[in-house]
Amino acid sequence: MAPPIRIIKGVIFLFTLLVVLQQLGIQIFPLIVGLGVAGVGIGLALQGVSLNLFAGLIFIFIKPFRIGEFIDILGEHGEVKAIDIFTTKLLHLDRSIVVFPNRKIIGEILHNYGKIRQLDLMVGVAYATDLTQAQAAVQKIAAGNPRILQVPEPVIGIALLGNSSINISVKPWVTIPDYVPAQVELYQTIVEESRTAGIQIPFPQREILMLKAE
């Protein structure tokens, strides 16, 4: 039997059933309304599923990001751990998991850092410090840390003339897993080496002038 004939017979059967129920005194209008509402709900649910599926296929074939890369999107950031048909999972630096429905990502601005990130550290030294010596010391520390990538080359230089210190910017690149450990290690080594070399790292100071009332 051809499919159109089956559909026509099904519609006739359903119409006949509704007429019989009506003759038996059964109110079929609420049933029809209920079926309509249920149909709308199912349609919306399937629409969301189909959008997630469509977005997932786009990610798989176009690859705007890959597993292992660090991305920032919709106010969330983390390492891409899984790209499924319906969802994408990010791993936060605190080891928590963020799960995105794929349809939420489509059309949003995506910041893809790739598989390396740049640290943004700041070290303050006293104004009387030999800046060439201080920067050379920081450069040596960065070169000696195995977590720091030497390609691209670390960026080190004067960033700000503060109220009580000259701030040296330290911006080396590291892999995603080394982002936090490298920052901790660099700060500790910089403090220890500065003390050894006699480089003063000043703390914030404020002078208060007391005026005697006449």
Question: What is the pLDDT at residue 135?
Answer: 92
CATH architecture of 66-114: Roll (2.30)
Percent of the chain clearing pLDDT 90 (strictly above):
40
Identify the CA nearest to 74 among candidates 90, 62, 63, 52: 90
Q: How many CB atoms lie within 10 A of CB 52?
A: 22
pLDDT of residue 136: 92
The strands making up 155-161's β-sheet, listed across from edge to edge, are 121-125, 166-171, 155-161
- Using the predicted structure, report yes or no on whether residue 8 has a pLDDT greater than 50: yes
Return the pLDDT at 157.
93
Rounded to an integer, the average pLDDT of 151-159 is 92
Q: How far is Cα 187 from Cα 173, in angstroms, rounded to an integer? A: 15
Stretch among 1-10, 110-119, 123-132 having the lowest mean pLDDT:
1-10
User: Which whole number is the average pLDDT over 105-117?
Assistant: 87
Residue 201 has pLDDT above 60, yes or no: yes
Q: What is the domain partition of the chain in residue ranges?
A: 9-37, 66-114, 116-197
Among 2-6, 89-93, 202-206, the minimum mean pLDDT is found in 2-6
- The whole-model pTM stands at 0.65
Give the domain 116-197 fold.
Alpha-Beta Plaits (3.30.70)
